[in-house]
Amino acid sequence: MTQITRDDVRHLAQLSSLQLSDQEIDALQTDMVSILGYIEQLSELDTTGVEPTYQVTGLENVWRNDTVQSGVSPDTLLEIAPASHAHQIKVPKVL
Amino acid sequence: MSVISDFSATTARENVTRAIARAREVNGEYNALLAIIEDRALERADAVDRGEITGRLAGVPFIAKDNYLVFGAPTTAASKILGNFNAPIQSTVIERLEAEGAICVGKANLDAFAHGGSTENSAYGPTKNAYDTTKVAGGSSGGSAVAVALGIVPFALGSDTGGSIRQPASFNGVFGLKPTYGLTSRFGVVAMASSTDVMGVFTNSAEDAELLTDIIAGQDVRDMTTLPDFFKPADLLKPQQRIGILKEFMTDAVHPDVRARVLAYADALRDAGHTVEEVELPILKYTLAMYYIIVPAEVSSNLARYDGIRYGQRADAPTLAELYGKSRDEGFEAENKRRIMVGSFVLSSGFFDAYYLQAQKARTLLIDGFNKLFETYDVLIGPVAPTPAFGIGENSHDPMTMYLADVMTVPASLAGLPAISVPAGRSEAGLPIGVQLIGPRRADAALLALAKSLENNSLLENAA
């Protein structure tokens, strides 16, 4: 059975960009042990030589005409951004 | 029997005003709606009454699950991170309904980001069952099902990723259709799991579901997974159909009242001249495990976009990394985080082959199994859920207990098959119970035709 430690939960939270509290980490550790314990039963199934199905439509290479269409204006998009400055979205320092 | 057609006898303004009044009357008790759209709805109603907007749904009010982008109210997906999000575009399904004159009067409650089967995961409190306010509405489209069951509107929109239309339809005694994957456009609906998300309707009759599906179905250049429209409303194509009851769904673990209603529906089918026999699909045992690998994987990818940068709630933080982490921690519900984390786990290096790839291979075996059955049978039937609506708080202590309630709806989702929940009577305690009809891909109209043909069957007289 896959073991999930608190450090594993912290690592996954980092991969998922979630800044979790200690309490949340404890709760998620318990839940993930239970969930992974259940889904592990899939390993019993013999899938040798079976191709995976990532999507069910069977569609391949769907094309559309490369024509300009009216879309949403930059002003409208800036209006719904949490912060903007000089017609750009404002964010904290990256480095 | 169509309920929608009744709305053509009154003015659009009367229809909209009445729907909004009814919504205000009952919402305090049921919490089915997160927003009422009044100004835009009345403007559109007046345009219908002036004859400026016409169509098959002229002046018919409806409610959309709050993960559909709709003008006139925020789209929250019942989350805090989208709490103030005013959509700059509308979903294709809404556009198609509006083009026929329908009027959206409100947004329905759901499990945040549609993660759940009870509407208890909403950031804005649970929706109560239309028949018993101590019970859950089902989910994730709980508010939509309750809005139709309470008669606020004649139809509502839901989305179904693993049962989110069918299960609340069953719990509230209304019709709920999950179309074939690719029949309805996903454009403009908050994405959950892109390979199984399907848009569909809640109605009071199979006939209304047919009319609405005919309107919303078809290819959309903005959703490259949509198929050319194959939906053609029809009467019963085959008078004598071969129908299979899925044995794996009729075990002792299933509530006796649920089994009894499925068997009553089977009797009604036999009475109408069809053949009904038990069939086996052993791989069904593994479908819930497949679902809870594939869907969290897609969820973790789809929810990566909510980062507090371009739209939605942004937390105060000195650095960009902390801004992401804090905005997401504050903006998501516990179940959202659980699914993101499980998704990150099954996709992470070292575990990918054992979990994600294995699940997608198992999915192929599931599809093969269904295909084999559909060589012999026209339709498969079974329960929608193992129990009638459960109590509020009853399953929320343990996520795995809650997930097990999805066991009968996830197979059609993973295989992309059309499936409908049809009201089939009540439990001894008076709670509605639905029966699930599953068809081969593209058999949406045939399923509705079968459901329609049974609507007046006397063996189902105590149906809701």
Answer yes or no: are the C-beta atoms of B245 and B278 closer than 8 Å.
yes
Contact (CB<8Å) A64/B221: yes
Q: Which one of A2, A51, A92 has the shortest CB-CB distance to B364? A: A51
**Cα atoms found within 13 Å of the Cα of residue B39, Cβ hemisphere only:** 3
Angle of helix B287-302 relative to helix B334-347, nearest 10 degrees?
Answer: 100
Query: Rounded to whole angstroms, how far apart are CA atoms B331 and B73?
Result: 19
Nearest-Cα distance to chain B for A74, in Å, is: 11
**Which contiguous run of DSSP H or E holds residue B341?**
helix B334-347
Alpha helices per DSSP H over B348-408 = 358-376, 399-404
B230 contacts on A by Cβ (under 8 Å): none
Q: What are phi and psi of B18, to 5 degrees?
A: -65, -40
Query: Rounded to whole angstroms, how far apart are CA atoms B318 and B80?
Result: 21
pLDDT of residue A3: 85
Contact (CB<8Å) A42/B364: no
**Which contiguous run of DSSP H or E holds residue B435?**
strand B432-438
- Of B253, B283, B208, residue with least CA distance to B405: B253
- pTM score of the predicted model: 0.97
Contact (CB<8Å) A19/B328: yes
- Kindly state the DSSP code that residue B119 receives in the 8-state scheme: S
Q: Which residue of A has its CA nearest to B357?
A: A52
The radius of gyration of chain A's CA atoms, rounded to the nearest angstrom, is 23
Nearest-Cα distance to chain A for B27, in Å, is: 29
Q: Are strands B242-246 and B275-279 parallel, antiparallel or unpaired?
A: parallel
Joined tokens for residue B369: 């199994």
Q: Which residue of B has its CA nearest to A10?
A: B341
> Given CB atoms, is A15 within the 8 Å cutoff of chain B?
yes
Answer yes or no: are the C-beta atoms of B418 and B438 closer than 8 Å.
yes
Contact (CB<8Å) B338/A16: no
pLDDT of residue B462: 53
Nearest-Cα distance to chain A for B374, in Å, is: 16
pLDDT of residue B45: 98
Residue with tokens 């509006």: B98
Query: Rounded to whole angstroms, how far apart are CA atoms B360 and B192?
Result: 17
Answer yes or no: are the C-beta atoms of B217 and B184 closer than 8 Å.
yes
By the 10 Å C-beta count (0-12 exposed, 13-18 middle, 19+ buried), B222 is classed as: middle
Q: How many CB pairs under 8 A join A and B?
A: 170
- Of B282, B418, B302, B294, residue with least CA distance to B363: B294
Q: Which residue of B has its CA nearest to A39?
A: B289
pLDDT of residue A1: 61
- Kindly state the DSSP code that residue B2 receives in the 8-state scheme: -
pLDDT of residue B356: 97
Nearest-Cα distance to chain B for A7, in Å, is: 13
Query: Rounded to whole angstroms, how far apart are CA atoms B432 and B293?
Result: 31
Contact (CB<8Å) B359/A56: no
pLDDT of residue B461: 58
pLDDT of residue B464: 44
Q: Which residue of B has its CA nearest to A45?
A: B362
Answer yes or no: are the C-beta atoms of B395 and B94 closer than 8 Å.
no
pLDDT by 10-residue block (mean), chain B, 464 residues: 90 98 98 98 98 97 98 96 96 98 98 98 98 98 98 98 98 98 98 98 97 97 95 88 98 96 97 97 97 98 97 95 97 98 95 96 98 98 98 92 94 98 96 98 97 82 51
A17 contacts on B by Cβ (under 8 Å): 304, 307, 321, 324-325, 328
Q: Which one of B318, B341, B354 has the shortest CB-CB distance to A13? A: B341
Tell me the catalytic residues of B.
Answer: 65, 140, 164
Contact (CB<8Å) A38/B289: yes
B415 contacts on A by Cβ (under 8 Å): 56
Report the residue of B90, B323, B361 to disrupt the A interface, i.e. the one with the largest count of A CBs within 10 Å.
B361
B317 contacts on A by Cβ (under 8 Å): 92
> Given CB atoms, is A52 within the 8 Å cutoff of chain B?
yes
Question: Can you tell me the ipTM of this complex?
Answer: 0.96
Answer yes or no: are the C-beta atoms of B186 and B178 closer than 8 Å.
no
B308 contacts on A by Cβ (under 8 Å): 82
Beta bridge partners of B155: B62
HEC readout, A26-69: HHHHHHHHHHHHHHHHHHHCCCCCCCCCCCCCCCCCCCCCCCCC
B344 contacts on A by Cβ (under 8 Å): 12, 15-16
Q: Which residue of A has its CA nearest to B323?
A: A92
Dihedral (CA of B277, B281, B284, B285) sign: positive
pLDDT of residue B447: 97
Q: Which residue of A has its CA nearest to B283?
A: A45
Report the residue of B284, B299, B341, B346 to disrupt the A interface, i.e. the one with the largest count of A CBs within 10 Å.
B341
CA distances from B391 to B120, B386, B397, B404 (A): 11, 14, 12, 15
* Peptide bond between residue B140 and the one before it cis (omega within 30 degrees of 0): yes
